């Protein structure tokens, strides 16, 4: 730091024109800033991975429990989002319906997918056929797994 200050003072005494002195002052100022920041650049930030135990020391029971909890949350999310999607589609069709979606594991996809649906409420024939087609084509639930329950 002292050396940068000394170098800057020495550079100011050189016989240069105004532009040359400004350029040299800028360069010396940058060097001074680097000298000040160098210790800070050498500091190591906190890494969250340092706070966690290495994977090989993690408790297998805790890992299995966390995985089971994550899978249960994902199943509930898929089920609720599918039911909300169907409720919105029914509203668009002018039908007053509620849905209960059952999920099954799709091993190829590696997750639970909508398997069947129970539909409660009233809807005219056009709305019923449009919703049945939506369930078949967009959700992947064929008519034989669509159970319509009256009002």
Residues in the chain predicted with pLDDT less than 50, given as ranges, are none
CA dist 77 and 68 (Å) reads 14
Q: Sort strands 111-122 and 146-149 into parallel, antiparallel or unpaired.
A: parallel
Q: For the sheet containing 146-149, what is the strand order?
A: 96-106, 111-122, 146-149
Kindly report, residue by residue over 16-56, the tens digit of the pLDDT. 777 777 777 777 777 777 777 666 555 555 565 666 766 66
CA dist 94 and 20 (Å) reads 78
- pTM score over 0.85: no
Q: What ranges do the domains of the chain cover?
A: 2-41, 69-149
What CATH class does 69-149 carry? Answer: alpha beta
Question: In the prediction, which pLDDT does 44 show?
Answer: 57
């Amino acid at each position: 730091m002292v050396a940068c200050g000394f170098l800057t003072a020495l550079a100011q005494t050189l016989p240069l024109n105004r532009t040359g002195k400004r350029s040299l002052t800028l360069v010396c100022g940058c060097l001074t800033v680097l000298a000040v920041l160098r210790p800070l650049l050498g500091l190591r930030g906190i890494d969250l991975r340092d706070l966690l135990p290495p994977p090989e020391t993690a408790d297998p029971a805790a890992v299995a429990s966390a995985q089971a909890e994550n899978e249960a949350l994902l199943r509930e999310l898929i089920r609720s989002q599918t039911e909300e999607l169907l409720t919105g589609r029914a509203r668009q069709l002018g039908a007053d319906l509620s849905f209960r979606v059952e999920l099954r594991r799709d091993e190829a996809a590696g997750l639970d997918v909508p398997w069947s649906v129970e539909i409660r409420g009233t809807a005219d024939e056009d709305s019923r056929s449009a919703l049945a087609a939506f369930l078949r084509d967009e959700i992947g639930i064929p008519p034989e797994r669509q159970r319509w329950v009256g009002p």
